[in-house]
Amino acid sequence: MKKFFALLSLGLAALGCSVFSSPASKPAPSPAPVIQASPTLTPIPVPALTADQLKNASYQLVFQDSHKTVQLTNGVYQNGTDPASPDYADVTLAEPMAFGDLNGDGVGDAAVLLAENYGGTGVFVSVVAVINQNGQPVQSGAQMIDDRPILNSINIQNGQIFLDATVHGPNDPGCCPNQPIKEAYRFINGKLVFTSVVTKTANGLDRVITIDSPAEGSSASWPLTVTGKVSIAPFENNLVYSVFDADNNQIANGPFLVNADQPGGPGTFSLPLDLSSAGVAGSVRIQIEDSSPADGSILALGSVTVIIK
């Protein structure tokens, strides 16, 4: 009997060694955590302005009362029915309109032609920049064109507004403008400024100012020399230069002479400028202008924007 229990104990001991000496089973690997990807938010594109929006927008008057804003309905605002009344006003959007990006944000803006009449025969037309703010039209700068101009075309290219029209020369009667003109404007710091003006002489020649150097958008430092040419030399060979800072503030201007072999012939110019003592730096616009001695209107204008280091 003792022998039996001894054998049983040995068997159990052997069995225990066999069980506990075997390698422990490895736990199943935990599943990798699932990372929920956040949905990519696609920005909603701002829609371009439409003709219907422009015809039903608010505009600040340009000619008579620059502080008054009127609301157009289907392109028209009218106050009163009697043109002889001192409060009479008729404001309309003239055709055509232009669409494109004016401030470089990639969103479609517009340019419109605003016509104001306050009784009588005068209809005073301005070009108005309309900026797209979250899909809504906001007037953002204007330039008067003329009284009763003939409007040929308006378009937007490379951030500029280009206008082709016929306006009044110094001797034209009010009914009948006879001066062809091509104007370019750029929207700068909330204002619409001229970048180019080309008119024609009585015999049909284009009056053009071309700036050859420095190049548009180039970097420069003071002192610098602005060189270029005119297709027709100005009265007494006098041009006027103006310099504007990035906020469109005029910081320098004055007259200078063109070199021309004969009055009214083609000519060249070389204008030295040095505004280093004034600490002028950054974006600077240099404008060259030929004005009419008869009425001060712009006969020709050229401009260039440079970055002063």
Q: What is the pLDDT of residue 39?
A: 64
User: How many whole angstroms from its chain centre is CA 63?
Assistant: 22
Tokens of 63: 């000619």
- Give phi and psi for 74, each to the nearest 5: 55, 40
Q: What is the pLDDT of residue 45?
A: 87
Residue 170 pLDDT > 50, yes or no?
Answer: yes
Residue 117 pLDDT > 80, yes or no?
Answer: yes
DSSP three-state, residue 274: coil
Residue 119 pLDDT > 90, yes or no?
Answer: yes
Residue 32 pLDDT > 80, yes or no?
Answer: no
Only one residue has tokens 């956040």, namely 38
Q: What is the pLDDT of residue 36?
A: 64
| Mean pLDDT value across residues 156-164 | 97
Tokens of 24: 């422990």
Of the given ranges (13-17, 58-62, 186-190, 233-237), which has the lowest mean pLDDT? 13-17
> For residues 305 and 217, is the Cβ–Cβ distance under 8 A?
yes
| Mean pLDDT value across residues 157-176 | 95
| Mean pLDDT value across residues 25-49 | 70
Element (H, E) at 63: none
% the chain with pLDDT above 70 = 86
Residue 75 pLDDT > 50, yes or no?
Answer: yes
Per-residue confidence at 14, pLDDT binned at 50, 70, 90? very low
| Mean pLDDT value across residues 177-201 | 95
Question: How would DSSP label each residue in 100-126?
Answer: E-SSSSSS-EEEEEEEEE-SSS--EEE
Residue 291: CB atoms within 10 Å = 17
- Among candidates 299, 241, 232, which has minimal Cα distance to 275? 241
Structural domains in the chain, CATH included, are: 201-309 (2.60.40.2550)
Per-residue confidence at 26, pLDDT binned at 50, 70, 90? low
Q: What is the pLDDT of residue 67?
A: 77
